[in-house]
Structure 1
Amino acid sequence: MAMLLFRRILSGRNYCRRFSTSHPDFNDRKGLVLGVFEKEGEGHHLTEAAEGFDQSICGKLSELLEISGPSLKKGKSRLFYGLHEDFPCVAVVGLGKANAGVCGAENWDTSKENIRAAVSSGCRLLQDLEVNHVEVDGCGDAQSAAEGAVLGLFSYDQLKTKKKTKVITQLHGSTDSTGWAKGVVYAEGQNLARLLMEAPANHITPTAFANIIEEKISNAQVTIYKRSKRWIEQQQMGAFLSVARGSEEPPLFLELHYNGSPDSTQPPLLLVGKGVTFDSGGISLKPSASMDAMRADMGGAATVCASVVTAAALELPVNLIGLAPLCENMPSGKATKPGDVVKAKNGKTVQVDNTDAEGRLILADALCYGHTFNPRAVVNVATLTGAMDVALGSAATGVFTNSDWLWEQLHKASVVTGDRVWRMPLFQHYTKQVTDSQLADLNNIGKYSKSGGACTAAAFLREFVTLPHWAHLDIAGVMSNKDEVPYLRKGMSGRPTRTLVEFAAGLAKSC
């Protein structure tokens, strides 16, 4: 029977004759993504949705999979045409082993990651065929399937004449529509961060950044404050102002308040993000090669603000405050010079021996200001050091924290999202290097500038924190994606937005 079916396919007879197997026009037609698990030995194990579809076409999908080659491995896919009149093309994707679960060695849920990667691959295949409406198999975890679809289809082409086909995705069948909707919101939050990070610096200035975030907020429980340079001066944020001094673009301090908890007295979770919308290095000018990527040096602010927007969209029962000091770091006659001494909001003086170590300066003042809200915990996020990229690459975000409890919460969230974190040392060894300064209380690059750069940067920030639960996330290594994360296209990644949202959701449950 299988060989007879195969011959009919090759000859164009039977049901395949009604649909072209060349490149048909799929505009306003639906595509379908279905998953299959690896089976012990040969063959495939269909998901529940795939099994239902197979039964509706009298087992033709199973027969085609059997005769079209070896078992469909994890991350691989196959396209079939003409199986169903409602779906001119069907992408079948390999999900790996069923119920793979959490892998301690990899620090993530392998099943969820496999689903994200597989669904992303299938959706992109159909997008390349210019299919504009895709139904997606929930694959047993509708949230992960939604994340894979929405993250996988994103591309920044706003400034191009020729754009990729815009694809509407929806869950195939009626199982776990709540999980699907949640996954869509999680992924759209990360895509917002990707959009901000990918856009050129002449389009995303500090003012433009704040305006875009304001446009994205639709929840009445979110209050936004766009603080001017005058306000920043009144707050005596001398470290922040020293970075902004060289640019013609005025600095802006963005403040978001989301009051989602039914208990108005609940202490907020404070998120602080580095918002350098373009980093030339200032007088300590960066090499010109790859300097264009420094349009994404506001990745910390992008992920923090996107997380607050997402938490509000999900109506999480938690109080959140997001802070984003926004500015450019540019060279000019007004710019801070190496060796200058500036004073931070808490009164500490800082010798600025390298103006390209500017992120820690703007975060220092933002952290001091954040203490006035008496937060339950503080998490700051920044593309802070190239040393972090050297240490971990794109595998995980580096976390420096003074709190075992906070580390456990962040780590737990990252296992769920697959956007991993890894704990780094916060020894007094590094503190001594930044407090040994010739001219001031602190030195912004430390005594040994070429050693342990990510660690000394974290030690510097710690000098502006007095709370027992604080974490610094250095996201320099995960700022962009080449091909390391299969469900993200090449470009700025928006990581770790989903982990921050999952972390906030976890805190909401524990309140």
Structure 2
Amino acid sequence: MDYSIVSLSLDKLQSDCLLVGIYENQQLSPVATAVDTLCEGLLTKLIARGDIKGKNAETLLINNVPHENFQRIILVGFGESGKVTRKLYRKALAAAIKVVKESKVSVATSALLDINVENVDTQWLTRQNIEVFNDAIYLYSKTKVCEEMPALQQLYIYADKLVSSQAELGLLQGKAIAKGVELTKQLADLPGNICTPTYLAEQAIELATQHEKLKCEILEESDLQALGMGAFLSVSRGSRQPAKLISLFYQGAEASVKPIVLIGKGLTFDAGGISLKPGLGMDEMKYDMCGGASVLGLIRMATLLNLKLNIVGLVPSSENLPDGDANKPGDIVTSMSGKTIEILNTDAEGRLLLCDTLTYAKKFNPEVVIDMATLTGACIVALGRVPSGLFGNDDALCEELLTAGEVACDKVWRMPIWEEYQDQIKSNFADLANIGGPDGGSITAACFLSRFAEDFRWVHLDIAGTAWRTGAAKGATGRPVPLVSQFLLNRA
């Protein structure tokens, strides 16, 4: 899908499908008012007839338009004027794109930058048009024949000349974030027999060829063995697929600038190992690499925008399967840090990948480290599927992520990692255990990781409830790419 800004005067604008806004008190937006004049008061007549009230996400498709430049008009409701939040704006956009898709048009024009949304500017509004539309037209087609591909191929975003420079910046950001989300979803939706650790590594290598400031390094199992990554390597013992540590290096700033390290759990399939998961819903465990896919998506975003940052992306990738050589409950492994870990449950494997990768991250002298992982079902129990869980050892860094989440509409909720919880991961036979019992499972998982992140500012994002949708709409969401993208934009 292609996106561009158009700043013609309305009387010269041509569109197969023009989107304009209306508020709940049946008040037309400024652009809609001008369009109404060009269309001989048609919109006003339809409003007076009660065809649309302007409630949030309410839409009205008008096919018979008395102006030759407009083939169709979609009135989009935004709710009460002066009370449109970021969330409500995106909700209305999602309703609008649904109607556009159903109308089968190949080209549409969004004239929705004149909606008054609390605490945002034209740049943000433009970005959201692209992010929401691109998310809605995404269609998985790698392993199936899609009889009906989306007709929409081009979205023009109408911007007044006074704000066109802001709109152009929003266009660049929106396209880059949308491309990052798209890559994340494409990788995450692939089945585990295609998207193996080797396949994921190959995609990282391919990504590195697309930008001169990006380099890729793949560490094989022999390299991990030499580094002493006993925790990481223990996870892949039950798999015939070799583990990989994927490293991407983006240098957008001077070499002396400390990098932001992004770590993403890349477990391409998780059967639970010897602590086997129930069969029902196990197919969704191909999504256990959404954190790793997100790192690749974020690197793609950063390169497209040429962000003036140094970023290191680390993706520890493996499978977790039952086998005669697989980890057993009660086994003790030695991590790269030298800490020993008693494996009480082999299905708590993500933290074994991450703990060694956190130790490895120290070598880059990071400014901050952010890890993203579909780590615990307990996080879904605690928070549902609305916010991602946020844990961290630095209040200022956590606040940065909370603020970025609000702006990006990709929310997080901060969870505690108080000292009292550390007692739950004590072991009689090792330095620590890999689970802490049934209480506060997402917290004790974060406490476990915190023991390997003591030497730098660190945030852990538990995205188990937000990285994919289940049920009839099953599929990857691309989160937390918008959240971390906003964090990186703020930093840049």
TM-score (norm 1): 0.86
Q: Identify the residue that residue 62 of structure 1 maps to in structure 2.
A: 44
SS at match of 1:134: strand
The yes-or-no answer on 1:330 pairing with 2:355 is: no
Q: Identify the residue that residue 152 of structure 2 maps to in structure 1.
A: 167
Cα distance change of structure 1 residues 315 and 49 upon mapping to structure 2, 3 Å threshold: farther
SS at match of 1:367: helix
1-side partners of 2:39 and 2:174: how far apart?
30
Instruction: Name the aligned partner's letter for residue 371 of structure 1.
Output: K
* Cα distance, 1:184 vs structure 2: 2.4
The yes-or-no answer on 1:207 pairing with 2:191 is: no
Q: Identify the residue that residue 94 of structure 1 maps to in structure 2.
A: 77
Q: Identify the residue that residue 330 of structure 2 maps to in structure 1.
A: 339
SS at match of 1:172: strand
SS at match of 2:255: coil
For 1:4-15, list aligned pairs within 5 A. Answer: none
* Cα distance, 1:210 vs structure 2: 2.4
SS at match of 1:97: coil
Given that 1:228 and 1:253 are in contact with CA atoms closer than 8 Å, whether structure 2 keeps it comes out as yes
Instruction: Name the aligned partner's letter for residue 450 of structure 1.
Output: P
Q: Identify the residue that residue 291 of structure 1 maps to in structure 2.
A: 282
* Cα distance, 1:127 vs structure 2: 1.6
The yes-or-no answer on 1:119 pairing with 2:93 is: yes
The yes-or-no answer on 1:221 pairing with 2:213 is: yes
Judge which range, 146-155 or 276-285, deviates more. 146-155
The yes-or-no answer on 1:254 pairing with 2:238 is: no
Q: Identify the residue that residue 80 of structure 1 maps to in structure 2.
A: 62
The yes-or-no answer on 1:310 pairing with 2:301 is: yes
Q: Identify the residue that residue 3 of structure 2 maps to in structure 1.
A: none
1-side partners of 2:333 and 2:148: how far apart?
47
SS at match of 2:250: strand
Q: Identify the residue that residue 477 of structure 2 maps to in structure 1.
A: 493
SS at match of 2:238: coil
Judge which range, 271-280 or 312-321, deviates more. 312-321
2-side partners of 1:236 and 1:85: how far apart?
71
Instruction: Name the aligned partner's letter for residue 62 of structure 1.
Output: T
SS at match of 2:136: helix
Alpha-carbon displacement from aligned partner over 1:311-342 (angstroms, at most 9, x marks no partner): 12111111111100011111111211111111
Alpha-carbon displacement from aligned partner over 1:425-480 (angstroms, at most 9, x marks no partner): 1111111221x21221111012xx11111111011111111224111111111122
2-side partners of 1:192 and 1:326: how far apart?
17
The yes-or-no answer on 1:440 pairing with 2:423 is: no
Q: Identify the residue that residue 225 of structure 2 maps to in structure 1.
A: 233
Cα distance change of structure 1 residues 60 and 82 upon mapping to structure 2, 3 Å threshold: same
Q: Identify the residue that residue 375 of structure 1 maps to in structure 2.
A: 366
Alpha-carbon displacement from aligned partner over 1:114-146 (angstroms, at most 9, x marks no partner): 222222222222222322222222433212222
2-side partners of 1:178 and 1:99: how far apart?
25
2-side partners of 1:308 and 1:112: how far apart?
26
Alpha-carbon displacement from aligned partner over 1:23-64 (angstroms, at most 9, x marks no partner): xxxxxx93332222223xxx2322x43333333323323322
Given that 2:362 and 2:456 are in contact with CA atoms closer than 8 Å, whether structure 1 keeps it comes out as no
* Cα distance, 1:87 vs structure 2: 4.2
2-side partners of 1:87 and 1:325: how far apart?
52
Instruction: Name the aligned partner's letter for residue 382 of structure 1.
Output: A
For 1:387-402, list aligned pairs within 5 A. Answer: 387-402=378-393
Which of 44, 51, 59 is matched with 2:33 structurally? 51
For 1:338-487, list aligned pairs within 5 A. Answer: 338-434=329-425, 436-446=426-436, 449-481=437-469
Cα distance change of structure 1 residues 198 and 58 upon mapping to structure 2, 3 Å threshold: same
Cα distance change of structure 1 residues 299 and 497 upon mapping to structure 2, 3 Å threshold: same
* Cα distance, 1:238 vs structure 2: 0.8
Which runs of 5 or more residues in structure 1 are unaligned? 1-28, 101-109
TM-score (norm 2): 0.89
SS at match of 1:372: helix
SS at match of 1:226: strand
Given that 2:23 and 2:77 are in contact with CA atoms closer than 8 Å, whether structure 1 keeps it comes out as yes
The yes-or-no answer on 1:195 pairing with 2:186 is: yes
* Cα distance, 1:190 vs structure 2: 1.6
SS at match of 1:378: strand
Given that 1:255 and 1:323 are in contact with CA atoms closer than 8 Å, whether structure 2 keeps it comes out as yes
1-side partners of 2:234 and 2:459: how far apart?
25
Given that 2:17 and 2:72 are in contact with CA atoms closer than 8 Å, whether structure 1 keeps it comes out as yes
Instruction: Name the aligned partner's letter for residue 231 of structure 2.
Output: A
Given that 1:381 and 1:472 are in contact with CA atoms closer than 8 Å, whether structure 2 keeps it comes out as yes
Given that 1:38 and 1:45 are in contact with CA atoms closer than 8 Å, whether structure 2 keeps it comes out as no
2-side partners of 1:115 and 1:193: how far apart?
24
SS at match of 1:128: helix
Alpha-carbon displacement from aligned partner over 1:176-217 (angstroms, at most 9, x marks no partner): 233133222212212221222122111211121222344345
Identical pairs, percent:
36
Given that 2:192 and 2:286 are in contact with CA atoms closer than 8 Å, whether structure 1 keeps it comes out as yes
CA RMSD of superposed structures (Å): 2.0
Instruction: Name the aligned partner's letter for residue 134 of structure 1.
Output: A
SS at match of 1:320: strand
Given that 1:403 and 1:468 are in contact with CA atoms closer than 8 Å, whether structure 2 keeps it comes out as no
Q: Identify the residue that residue 12 of structure 2 maps to in structure 1.
A: none
SS at match of 1:65: helix
2-side partners of 1:399 and 1:117: how far apart?
24
* Cα distance, 1:293 vs structure 2: 0.7
Given that 1:49 and 1:173 are in contact with CA atoms closer than 8 Å, whether structure 2 keeps it comes out as no
2-side partners of 1:264 and 1:79: how far apart?
54
* Cα distance, 1:151 vs structure 2: 1.6
1-side partners of 2:228 and 2:184: how far apart?
29
* Cα distance, 1:357 vs structure 2: 0.1
SS at match of 1:203: coil
* Cα distance, 1:482 vs structure 2: 5.8
The yes-or-no answer on 1:135 pairing with 2:109 is: yes
